[in-house]
Chains A and B, each alone.
Chain A
Amino acid sequence: EAGVAQSPRYKIIEKKQSVAFWCNPISGHATLYWYQQILGQGPKLLIQFQNNGVVDDSQLPKDRFSAERLKGVDSTLKIQPAKLEDSAVYLCASSSARENTEAFFGQGTRLTVV
C-alpha cells in the first residue's frame, strides 16, 4: 500500500516570499491533516479536511496560510508571505474516520525561512 506522499522534502525561502506544499494521502482516506511541527515540539494541527470540506482550521493563520483539497484527494498548503517563525516541518497525515484507526504521516516538508 502506498503511503502519504509529500513534496518537496526541503525548501529554503526568504521571508516575505511565498511557498506551497503538496500532499497526496493514502487512497480512500477521507480525512487529511496538515500539521506544523517546530523543533522540539509536538505536531500542531493547522487544518483538517474531511473529503473536500474543512472540518477544523481554527489554528490556521489565515492572514498568510491557505489550504485546499480539490476533489477530496490531493491537498496543497500555501504560505504567503512567509515569516521567519514559519520555519518548521509541515506534516501531512491521512486517516479513515473510524474508531481505533490511526493516522499515517508523510515524510514532511522541512521549511527554512531566512
Chain B
Amino acid sequence: RKEVEQDPGPFNVPEGATVAFNCTYSNSASQSFFWYRQDCRKEPKLLMSVYSSGNEDGRFTAQLNRASQYISLLIRDSKLSDSATYLCVVKELSNFGNEKLTFGTGTRLTIIP
C-alpha cells in the first residue's frame, strides 16, 4: 500500500460545481496534513493546512478523519482558476525533531467553462 494515495483523476468539472477529493494515508502516527496546489510547470504551493477539527478558507474546506486515515478537500462554486493539480501531503514528526513529508501523486482538476 502506498504511504499516501490519491485518485489521480482527471476530474473535469463544470464551472460553479462542487468537487471533492479524498486522500488516504497509511501511517497512523502522521501528525500534520496539507493540501498543496500545483499549476502546470510551476512548483507546489500550500493551499491549506488540514486541522483535526476541519477548516475552511473561502470556497475551500478541508477535513481530517484520523480513525479512517483520510483527508478531504472540498471546493465549492468552482472557478476556472481552480484548474490545477492538488497534492495531498502528510507530515510525520519524530521524537528527535526530524520530519518526513510524503506527497500523494496528485489529483488533476480541470474546470470547464
- Asked whether, in the complex, the Cβ of A33 is within 8 Å of the Cβ of B31, the reply is no
* Residue A106 lies at the interface, judged by CB distance under 8 Å to chain B: yes
Report the interface size for chain A: residues with CB under 8 A from the other chain.
Answer: 27
Contacts between chains A and B (CB distance < 8 A), count: 57
The answer to whether B101 and A99 touch across the interface, beta carbons within 8 angstroms, is no
Q: Is the CB of B46 within 8 A of A42?
A: no
Distance between Cα atoms of A2 and B105 in the complex (Å)? 28
Q: Is the CB of B44 within 8 A of A100?
A: no
Complex formed: what's the CA distance from A78 to B89 in Å?
26
- Nearest first, the 7 closest Cβ-Cβ pairs linking A and B are A105-B43, A42-B105, A42-B103, A102-B46, A42-B106, A97-B99, A43-B103
Using CB atoms and an 8 Å cutoff, list the residues of chain B in contact with chain A: 6, 31-32, 34, 41-46, 49, 51, 87, 89, 91, 93, 97-106
Interface, chain A (partner B; CB < 8 A):
31, 33, 35, 41-45, 48, 50, 55-56, 91, 93, 95, 97, 99-108, 110
